[in-house]
Structure 1
Amino acid sequence: MISKKEKEELKASAASITSGTTAVSTAENSPFIAGKSLFINTRGIPLLRLPLPPSELEIDVSSADGSLAFRSIREKRCSGSCVLSDASQNNLISTTYFWGPSRDPVLQLLGPTTDPNANTIKTISKWTSCSHKFVMPDGRVFEWAYKRERQAGGKKMKVLMLYRRDDSIEGGKSVARLVRNEDTRTPGSSKSSAGNGGELVLSENAAEVMDEAIIVATCILMLKKEIDRMRTVQAMML
């Protein structure tokens, strides 16, 4: 059962993603310098609908020239678990997805190894929370969180940002950001959609910090969390 407090947290969490009125504030000492861009193509789900699983089983991630870079595939509509492959159909990362208290998803780097734990990316988050931490096999910690930024002309925009958590840097250093606005969000989605795609902008030195496929896989996981928070709120409204 979902407690009253958790219901209120879920409502506030879902509203913050669609309305752009609240955000996680994360400071960083060094400015974000944009490098490569990828485009995550998924419509997500609209605000007003029955709380059904999304119908899209495949999410394509394209390069700036429109060519396929990655593809994430779910086997079943009722499952959030998926496998990320590259343009040559080589499976790279599997995500075993869970929803609910104390059931954090697990990512597995696919490849030959004698120690499965050496390829496991653990995730940490309060299940009603917007942010999510990822612990790499080598112990480094990254976090996806939402930040409100002021754009040219003074307009504020919500951005989903990936940080490397380092005690020596206040707030962490930004590695990537997902930008969803009128120009970049996936066609067929809107400002009020949850889990919709957009432009995934990597920092100029992102490749030195995290593998590109991991950035994509963890970002898609965040979109899945958006959808499930929205679906939970939709179910509570019935």
Structure 2
Amino acid sequence: MAFEGDRYEQIDISLISEKDKEELKASAASIISGTTAISTSDSSSFTPGKSLFINTRGIPCLRLPFPPSELEIGIYGADGSLAYLSTREKRSSGSCILSDSSKNNVISTKYTWGPGRDPVLRLLGPTAGEIKTVSKYTSRSHKFVMPNGEIFEWTYKRERGADGKKATLLVLIGKDGSGAEGRRIAQLVRNEETRTPGSKKSSAGNGGELVLGQGAEGTIDKPVVVATCLLMLKKEIDRRRAFHAMVLSAAISGGGA
């Protein structure tokens, strides 16, 4: 059974295996429990540097499996000025263009979600090239291979915050040539102080404070950090949408999700 809104690319649950459905249920449960909220990381290897603020509400815990209505996502500096703007042409598309404060297009994202359908990011302008993405569509981690072969990965890490409570943080990590985990590049902080107004800790795909580590810009370009983080938020939304579709399908058929 497939569900769509405004001719949006369908979430077709008939293509989702039983194993993948269990993964989606577990992912939804982890977000509902509020594990995307954390105050600070206790990672000794990460020294916070500059911050950007991603302004997007995401989607709530309970809703029909339609796509979000926001066509633009603003990313702001600490002084409140617009640093980047991510724009979708229409609600029926998950693809977007990231532009900088001078309205120059810097990265395009061709977004698809489902079995065997990895998104594609392209660097625009003088540093044109393709960023390959590698991830199972249900996965909470996603690898990005730069044109020069460097590998980075967004993933969720369970850590202790300043209040002493453990929670899960979305972090960007560099990988060495063997694929082993390297140093932390950036992290997205979503708590009561930094979460996008109008969203809750149970929301999926909501924004917050994107903290770059000191020296991060010498490792990876800032627009790449922003664009790949936005892709992770989009995946969060579509995992939630798929879960909603499964629940709705079960309710209609009278069975369990």
Task: Give TM-score scaled by structure 2 length.
Answer: 0.85
Report Cα offsets for 1:108-167 as digits up to 9, x if no partner.
001257xxxx60000000111000000000000000000121112311222100000115
Distance 1:170 1:110 in 2: 29
What is the match of residue 49 of structure 2?
Answer: 35
Distance 1:53 1:96 in 2: 16
1:155 is aligned, of 145, 165, 173, to 165
Unaligned runs of at least 5 residues, structure 2: 1-14, 37-42, 249-257
What is the match of residue 122 of structure 1?
Answer: 132
Distance 2:97 2:184 in 1: 25
- Counterpart residue type for residue 52 of structure 1: F
1:76 aligns with 2:90: yes
What are the within-5 Å matches in structure 2 for residues 84-95 of structure 1? 84-95=98-109
After TM superposition, give the deviation of residue 88 of structure 1 in Å.
Answer: 1.1
Q: Is the 8 A contact 2:47 2:213 kept in 1?
A: yes
1:133 is aligned, of 136, 143, 157, to 143
1:210 aligns with 2:220: yes
1:235 aligns with 2:249: no
Unaligned runs of at least 5 residues, structure 1: 23-28
Identity %: 69
Q: Is the 8 A contact 1:20 1:148 kept in 2?
A: no
1:107 is aligned, of 114, 121, 133, to 121
- Counterpart residue type for residue 233 of structure 2: L
Distance 1:119 1:19 in 2: 39
- Counterpart residue type for residue 157 of structure 2: K
2:154 is aligned, of 137, 144, 160, to 144
Q: Is the 8 A contact 2:34 2:202 kept in 1?
A: no
Distance 1:107 1:133 in 2: 12
Distance 2:126 2:201 in 1: 42
Distance 2:67 2:174 in 1: 31
- Give the 3-state SS of the residue equivalent to 2:125 in structure 1: coil
Task: Give TM-score scaled by structure 1 length.
Answer: 0.92
Q: Is the 8 A contact 1:121 1:135 kept in 2?
A: yes
Distance 2:150 2:159 in 1: 26
Q: Is the 8 A contact 1:30 1:173 kept in 2?
A: no
After TM superposition, give the deviation of residue 53 of structure 1 in Å.
Answer: 0.5
- Counterpart residue type for residue 138 of structure 2: T
What is the match of residue 175 of structure 2?
Answer: 165
Instruction: Please give the root-mean-square deviation of Cα atoms over the aligned residues, in Å.
Output: 1.9
Distance 1:167 1:151 in 2: 31
1:138–1:5: structure 2 CA closer, same or farther, 3 Å change rule? Answer: same
- Give the 3-state SS of the residue equivalent to 2:181 in structure 1: coil
Report Cα offsets for 1:183-215 as digits up to 9, x if no partner.
100000001000000000000010010000000
